[in-house]
Structure 1
Amino acid sequence: MSDVEDSRADDVDDAAPGPAPGSLAELARRHGLRPAVARPSLTVYLRQLWQRRHFILTYATSRNVSKYSGSALGQLWQVLTPLLNAAIYYVMFGLILGGSHGVRNYPAFLLTGMFVFTYTQRTVTAGAKSVSGNLSLIRALHFPRASLPLAYAIQELQQLAVSMGVLLVIVLITGEPITWFWLVIPVVLVLQTMFNVGAGLVMARVGASMRDLNQLLPFVMRTWLYASGVFFVIHDKVVKSAGFPEWVATVMYLNPAASYIEFMRDLLISRHTPPELVWLSCLCWAVAALAGGFWYFWRAEDRYGRG
């Protein structure tokens, strides 16, 4: 009986379709050739990224320098843009709509929220365009495609370094003292950067296949901005003023942008005490976004630049 089954299995194998004799596929198979865009294993992919770390850093720096090279103020726009946005929001939400009532040191409160949120917003938006906006480079050269969203994330991190220096000066001017908690600021930025990189990788893959994403993204970002407590204290506005149950405020605090904003405010503004859950939320979002985002992007490595 086993001889009959083996004979049938051999017949099935012989009947299975394979490369036609004399075809290019059969010729490539015979000589051990593989597709140039084949997705490598995850460990090999990480090694390739590390080998190209100098390219990633140089590409990010050159983009940062050239971005404002055509303007008179140059790199000052890295700081002026969030400052002007914060000034407009301060007039609208702080003065006209009365959002500053009951908020201690509202200028520092608002600026911290704007600078932290802007870092995430710009990284995610840039990540969405990193693949779709570099198709000519992707089709011309062979390199790990994650290099592009990583370079865009590093570019935004370089701009954040300037913005954070300005933010610390403003916080001091508004009367906040220097405390030992300031030593934890790099920890917050590392966690936020991990989240931003992961989110940027996810958006890079989505943006590579969804052509209308760049048109939709500004509306998503604006909604995210209003839901992240940039202009108001979440608990006071949601629970005390609007009368929603406590769990609604808890869900809003678990929003990653709100978590990193509240974490930074806790370090910079005295007597600003957010819920303890934001510390854990920042850590969980950082690890989950970086690991999940990298895996999600890597899974489509062999499809970027096609079509």
Structure 2
Amino acid sequence: MNRTVVYAIGGNALSSPTGDDQEQSARILAGVMSDVIDLLEAGWRVVLTHGNGPQVGHLMSLDANQEMDSWVAATQGMIGHSLAINLDSILRRRSRPEATSVVLTRVLVDPEDQGFKFPTKPVGPILSDKQVMSEDWDIAETVRGPRRVVASPKPLRILDLEVIRSLVEKSAIVICCGGGGIPVIEKENYLVGVPAVIDKDHLSALLAIDMNANALIISTAIDAVKTGFGTSEEKSHSKLSISEAKKHLENGEFPAGSMGPKISSLIQAVEMIPNIRSVLCQPGDAIKALRGDSGTTITISE
């Protein structure tokens, strides 16, 4: 029986937030490609989602007059094409039968969502002191430095879900939900794009739930979930129960602009599908993480 995994790739894996470390980005992307092939060879059907924070922020800085939802759509095409062409080349060399498919993905959000009132989602590169002082943007300090922040409403419904599902059933490697999806609202029986960036980890969890997936993998730069990060009491966790993870969230261990959404997304998946493998790991460690030999697994109980 085929098993389905939703694998979330961070936007920084595709382009570093400062734009000056392409060698590191290439290494990370190579790890992602390795994971996909390993998963296919282990019998998994793979659905890829990806972030777009650095890319959408860069495009927004080039043309502030273009609607943000259009830039999200543009990054879905750009990044989806890049991932697909890399994967297609590897699949051909391995003589594997799978095809790739990139799905432009729209996501329904609530126009009254609090995310529109309190922008929190970092986009674009690290800002210089001059930009912080001169640009008329919402700006927040992140772990890596100051970045522009935009509205980040919660995803309600993936409008292209059935298209994604049908492609997965045909054994395609589906690349979808890029950048958290294109946010739209319903207005007088029409769909209208809105200026926001949905968190890709939250949407990846929703996709995994809607697909009744067997696993959700969130890949990131660290090898495991850590508490006391950067202090003398720093501790890595190979496993956390839902209650433990929630307690650490409430205690502020996982910042809202970085690890917080990843942990809450992994929790959400397990709450809705108790038997799902819900893991965080570095690119290149997917199979080991699914075995519990690497990364961090979120479980229903201790």
TM-score (norm 1): 0.26
Larger relative strand fraction = 2
Whose radius of gyration is greater, 1 or 2? Answer: 1
Higher helix share: 1
Highest RCO, 1 vs 2 (Cα 8 Å, sep ≥ 6): 1
